[in-house]
Amino acid sequence: MSVPSDPFAGLLEGDVAGCCADLYELPAVRWLLDGQLHPGGRELTLRAARLAGIGAGTRVLDVASGAGTTALLVAGELGAEVIGVERGDGAVAQARTAAADAGLDGAVSFVAADATSLPLDDASVDAILCECSLCLFEDKPTAVSEMARVLRPGGIVVIADVTVEPDALPAKLRTAAARVACVADALPLDGYASLLRDAGLDVDCQEEHREAVAAMADRVESRLRAARIIRVAALEPWRSELSAAIELAGLAKQAIADGIVGYALTAARGPG
């Protein structure tokens, strides 16, 4: 994939989720995140799966499945049947290759599609996971309504996402780059619950995991500082932007420490 001259151009008015689907395929982003594309990594994914009641034979939808990390974990460790939906064609190709390499291509499938128009029948999945992605969707209500549509009666949706107190968010954390960092367009904790209730789901519980997003912000800032000192091939196209990126990471860390930015799991159950 070629490196865009301005990867954030037009994001304030444009398609954030589509841009992020492309950006998260870049080696630079994967290096910065050290392979962990959402706060809490494996542990919080398994916690979300437990809240969703996922086990052997459960039919699971992974919304914004990326390169398939969550889908492969849930299928491999819990014995679930998983369908991953992801906008990025490159990520879908990577996920399919990873599933084949893990011997899980019979238990996991991936499709390139938009979360606002899921290619699944009504009431066709038992559980849904959406990790650190809903905050990027331009049309969040439609995406959540689609999740409710494909969920079987009594099934559970778990949203894992960044939370913010928008009125307290510093101006520099409202920029296009901050949108890509999952901050500027995130919702307050009760905002995710409201979306789920508006879609006809009953919220079971919410868990805050601020420590997970704090650890991720700290790791990203440390890697950015290291890249300013040593030559990291993946980041060379953005060397001139490193100082601004370090400043943004520092602001995010402070906002987390101040309780303005957090991370939470929200579980909601379909009626019936």
pLDDT tens-digit profile of 152-192?
999 999 999 999 998 888 888 877 565 555 665 889 999 99
Task: Please determine, for residue 146, whether its predicted confidence score (pLDDT) is greater than 80.
Answer: yes
Q: What proportion of the chain, given as a percentage, has pLDDT over 90?
A: 59
Token pair for 146:
């689609």
From the list 257, 256, 229, 232, the residue with the least C-alpha distance to 243 is: 229
CB 89 within 8 A of CB 24: no
Between residues 181 and 204, which one has the greater pLDDT?
204
Does residue 10 register a pLDDT over 50? no
**How much is the pLDDT for 8?**
42
213-243 tens-digit pLDDT: 999 888 888 878 877 777 766 667 767 777 8
- Expressed in angstroms, the distance from the first to the final Cα of the chain is 46
pLDDT at 147: 98
CATH topology of domain 16-269: Rossmann fold (3.40.50)
DSSP H helices in the chain: 16-23, 27-32, 41-51, 69-78, 89-101, 140-150, 176-180, 189-198, 210-229, 242-257
How do the domains of the chain map onto residue ranges? Answer: 16-269
The pTM assigned to this predicted structure is 0.85
What are 268's strand-pairing partners? Answer: 157, 203
- Could you tell me which residues come within 8 angstroms of residue 195 by beta carbon, excluding any fewer than 6 positions away? 134, 140, 141, 144, 187
pLDDT digits (tens, 9 = 90+) for 71-96: 999 999 999 999 999 998 988 999 99
Find, among 138, 90, 88, the residue nearest to 116 by Cα.
Answer: 138
CB neighbourhood size of 230 (10 A) = 7
